[in-house]
């Protein structure tokens, strides 16, 4: 931090870096490759989830929200992707999917009559 912002700046003031800069600041040149590898694993898992979902509308929505959030993750640090994404986008979507699935099922007290 002192290299980029000078001596006398507080370390905990919420400066925003490029997402690969965080890896470099914390772990040096190896951290850049480790960050790229971690993001690749994460988005590879998201892509595999999408391919295995059989075009379910809820899965498509979760995939779209996750990939749309990448711009906020790149502008911030690692925690913005793994804390901000579930908090700001996925929690409301998962709640909506859960409510929609509950509405499709009949309550237990309604008997199936034929």
Task: Evaluate if residue 19 carries a pLDDT over 70.
Answer: yes
Count of domains forming the chain = 1
Q: Would residue 32 count as lying in a domain?
A: yes
* Mean pLDDT to the nearest integer, 9-13: 62
The mean predicted confidence, pLDDT, of the chain is 78
Residues 6 or more apart whose Cβ sits within 8 Å of residue 16 = 75, 76, 77
Q: Would 47 be classed as within a structural domain?
A: yes
Residue 3 lies in a domain: no
Q: At 32, phi and psi to the nearest 5?
A: -65, -45
The pLDDT tens digits for 66-101 are 888 887 777 666 677 778 888 888 888 888 888 887
In a domain, 80, yes or no: yes
CB atoms < 10 A from the CB of 65, how many? 16
**Residue 49: inside a domain, yes or no?**
yes
Give the pLDDT confidence score for residue 88 in this predicted structure: 84
Q: Which domain holds residue 37?
A: 17-101
Is 9 within the bounds of a domain? Answer: no
Q: Is residue 81 part of a domain?
A: yes
């Amino acid at each position: 931090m002192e290299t980029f912002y000078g001596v006398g700046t507080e370390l905990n003031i919420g400066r925003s870096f490029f997402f690969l800069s965080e890896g470099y600041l914390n772990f040096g040149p190896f951290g850049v490759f480790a960050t790229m590898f971690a993001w690749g694993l994460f988005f590879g898992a998201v892509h595999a989830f999408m391919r295995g979902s059989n075009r379910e509308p809820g899965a498509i929505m979760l995939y779209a929200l996750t990939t749309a959030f990448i711009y906020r993750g790149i502008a911030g640090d690692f925690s913005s992707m793994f804390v901000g994404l579930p908090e700001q986008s996925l929690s409301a979507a998962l709640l909506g999917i859960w409510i929609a699935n509950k509405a499709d099922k009949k309550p237990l007290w309604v008997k199936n009559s034929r």
